Each structure stands twice: as structure tokens, then as C-alpha cells.
Structure 1
């Protein structure tokens, strides 16, 4: 059993993020879902990102990853959805206790918070290939560091999904795709096993 910290996206800690956490927990794991917005929910990612600005920006959100990691010292896995990838990476790159980091609908450079990715921390990335939020920057960057037959020792395992929906794994959004979500959860369970 793994203890996992799952950081939400810019809409806030939606029922859909809680539902995703429950699906991951169904594999016998404990999933913590900290609320970085103190209960605030937003209708669009743009509204949520504007709210991040009032909180001190993405640097402040990244620091929240460290605060939450300290609250859950038994957690060995950190995950994030979209904006939540920022605090997840901050924790994964700077706290030696994490053995895995899971990025969903977002990606940041491996050197964003430390000079090198910690070699003992597995990195699993889930991106929709036609998602306008990730296809021009995050997806090419993730592809550049993903393991392939030619480069099996690369630091990340990348899974691409045929979808244009940014939050396809959030059951509270109109873009929810139950089948793709099941695949994401299965792959997470395989990593955790």
C-alpha cells in the first residue's frame, strides 16, 4: 500500500478530483487530496489561474507542495493534475522520501526545482495528445525525456491519450472520459505495484 498526495488542478478540489482519488485508492492505497484553494472552486482554468495570482503565483503553489509533504511524512508518491503538477514536482524533486511522481494533464521541466531529477523517483506522465493546454509545450518536452526502445533509461514513462480534453479524468467536467480514466488508473496501479 502506498500513501499518495494528489494535488488538484486550477478549477480547485472538485468532486471529480476526489473521485479520481477514490479510484486510485481502490488499488489498496491511501490518497490525500489537499485543498490548495481553501474550498474555492472555479468554472474555468483561466479563473483558477487568476486566483493563483492572488495567492502569490505559481511559486507559492510550488511551496505548498513542500508544506503538504511535511504534513504527510509517510507519503511515498506525489501526483498532480494540470496545475497540481507544479507542487508535485517541487516535492518530488526536493524531498528524498518520494519514490514516484505522477503527472496528469501537465508537465514541467525536470530541472524546474532542482539541478537533476532524483534517480530513485519514478516519473509517470499522462497527457492527451490533442489537448490545447499541453500539445505545444508540455507534450514535446515530455516526449524528449520519455523512455523509448532507443533510450530505455530515460527518466519518464509517457502515456499519450487520443483526446483533446484537458481534464478528461475529472468526472465533474464536461470533458470527462470514463474509459480513458480507467486506463490512467490502471496504469497508476501498475506503477504502484
Structure 2
């Protein structure tokens, strides 16, 4: 599917066929595409938790406002990020770069993140968001639909998936075969309302 068409036709679907399954090859293609999403300093701190266990899905649904897509989607992905990935062998992220680039980037990574928990978390959320969009557009190009989700108890889901203490959950992405088309768009703002040239007007 053309990229522009995938962007225009992607919608958040709530009703999925619970009997449909994605193949292992399709799942690998989805995640491999998401792993091409950008991250600051190339630290690739996203972690994709593929929730396959039916009982665990039910448990997550109970703390996710009983939303059916948690259990009915073919694939439920909990997008998480390792907040301390920048500390963990950062030379891995630039192992194929020229030595001059490595000599510059490795100290820069530490300078950017060290002692700045807000920066760690902000980068985690940005990275999860970009990976989620890549997942959803890839799913659409493959003929599937998706739903990004943040309507759940983050702390309880963290307990259920045994989230490490130095990780954070960004959002869920549910992927599967839609049972019915998404409802029409509820309302789209105009370009004039959302585009600012150079700077905002003074108050």
C-alpha cells in the first residue's frame, strides 16, 4: 500500500476478530519495521512486549477499562522503554560508525542524559510514540487495522508484565483484523488552526 494512502486510511479500530491470528512472519515484519523508527542517539530503547498468553490478556483487560481489543486483537503490544539504555553498553549503538563519530557520540550521550530523569522519560515517550506510528502504518500496509491505547492502569499493567524498575510503559498497540470499519472521523481541525508560521502571536 502507498504510504500516503496508509496514513489517510489508518483509523483506530475497536472491534477485532478474536479468531484471527497473525503469522509469525507477519509479527516479525511488524516488529522489524518498528525497529527502524528513530531514537535519540540511536539508543533504541524501545522494548516490545508481545502479550500472547490468554490469561494474561484477560488480566490486562481487567485493568484496561474492560476494553475488548485487549483480548480480541490478534496481537497486543505493550510498548515500553528502557530509561537507562543510554548507560548500558552505549558503544553498541554506534559500533559500525567511524571512530571519530564514536569518540564524539559516546561522551555526548552521557552528557545529555546523566542526572536528567525528565529527559530520560521524555525521550522514552517520544520513541514509543514514533515506534507505535510505524507499527500502525505497517499494519495498515499489510491489510490489518490497529488501535493505540493508553486507557489502562499503568502501574497494574507494569506488575502484570513484570516491568523492570528502570523501564516505563508508553502505550499499547492492538493489531488485528477489523470486524467492522471504524466510525467516521469525529472532527478534523483546519490547517489554519494548527499551523503556526515562525512564532505564536503575542498575547
Pairwise TM-score range, normalised by the shorter structure: under 0.3
Higher normalized contact order (CA 8 Å, seq sep 6+, divided by chain length):
2
* TM-score normalised to structure 2 length: 0.24
Larger radius of gyration: 2
* TM-score normalised to structure 1 length: 0.25
